[in-house]
Amino acid sequence: MKYVCTFLKKCLLVVSVIVVSCDNDDGAVSAMNDAPVDETLSILFIGNSHTNYNSGLATHVEEFASSFGIDVQAEIVAPNGFTLEAHVQSESTLFRIQNTDWDIIILQENTYRAAYETEEMKQSILDFTEVFATSNTQVSLFKTWAYQDMPEMNNLLDIAYNESSVLSNFPVIPIGSVWETFITTSTIDIYDDDNVHPNPTGTYLTAGLFFKKLFPDQDITSSTYHSSLTPELANEIKTYVSSQTIIQ
């Protein structure tokens, strides 16, 4: 729930304005009640192709939210192959961070670097703590998954993200851990043909997990959004997402 606290504070502020208006002017209250409340949760995904594949996670998270009438503005900065080191040194990435009042920012490290160049990853995340030192933005780490033919990467990714979280106090969203369980319990393929990236089903699963993390009080199984999946496949994925207590 802490991932939506800024959004809820905005809503409480709107309620406060309505209450004050009620005390001062009945006409003002009527006008306020009739006007739509425009509250948007803003999210920036920073990563690489794991984030931008299949139209990008931002698109799918927005669509999940929209199916519940929730207004989310989600964007990505995710050039193919980028590491967090490249992002923290990128004027373009820093501009995107600093010129919008983001509620939430999700950092995704290059999977190979996280697994095999962990010290470089940790230094980059420490550099990001300086970027956010005076910010109220909630920052989390998006843990990706092992390559399909290299399952030994899972343990390395666990270590890398856990150590990075301890250093930075940025919580980990363990998407890769859910992937690991899913591929051992389901016959549904979630990898692209390159054995690295998500296919559309994998992206739908990942976006659903992010939606569950951001809005834990919503029952994702009632979402009408199924992207390019058949309704039957989408329902199976949503049911699985709903069962994942690791994403809280």
User: To the nearest whole number, what is the mean pLDDT of the chain?
Assistant: 88
* CATH number for position 88: 3.40.50.1110
168 and 147 assigned to the same domain: yes
Residue 142 sits in the same domain as residue 162: yes
Does residue 248 belong to any structural domain of this protein? Answer: no
Instruction: Please tell me the predicted confidence (pLDDT) of residue 4.
Output: 53
Q: How many domains would you assign to the chain?
A: 2
Segment 125-163, tens digit of pLDDT: 999 999 999 999 999 999 999 999 999 999 999 999 999
Once rounded to an integer, what is the mean pLDDT over residues 180-199? 98
pTM here is 0.85
d(CA 33, CA 227): 35
* Chain centre to alpha carbon of residue 155: 22
**Quick check: 114 and 146 in contact, CB under 8 A?**
no
| pLDDT tens digits, 1-15 | 455 544 444 443 333
Asked, for residue 145, whether it belongs to a domain, the answer is yes
- 26 with 58, same domain: the answer is no
Interval 90-110 mean pLDDT: 97
pLDDT, residue 15, reads: 34
Residues contacting residue 170 through CB under 8 Å, at least 6 positions apart: 107, 125, 128, 129, 139, 140, 141, 164
- Residue-wise pLDDT for 27-79, tens only, equals 332 222 332 334 899 999 999 999 999 999 999 999 999 999 999 999 999 99
Range of the domain at 95: 41-242
Residue 104 region, left (φ>0) first, then alpha (ψ -120 to 50), else beta?
beta
Alpha-carbon span 169 to 88, nearest angstrom: 17
Answer yes or no: do 72 and 141 share one domain.
Answer: yes
pLDDT of residue 29: 29
Residue 39: the pLDDT is 82
Phi then psi for residue 99, to 5 deg, are: -105, 15
Q: Is residue 191 part of a domain?
A: yes
Mean pLDDT value across residues 197-220: 98
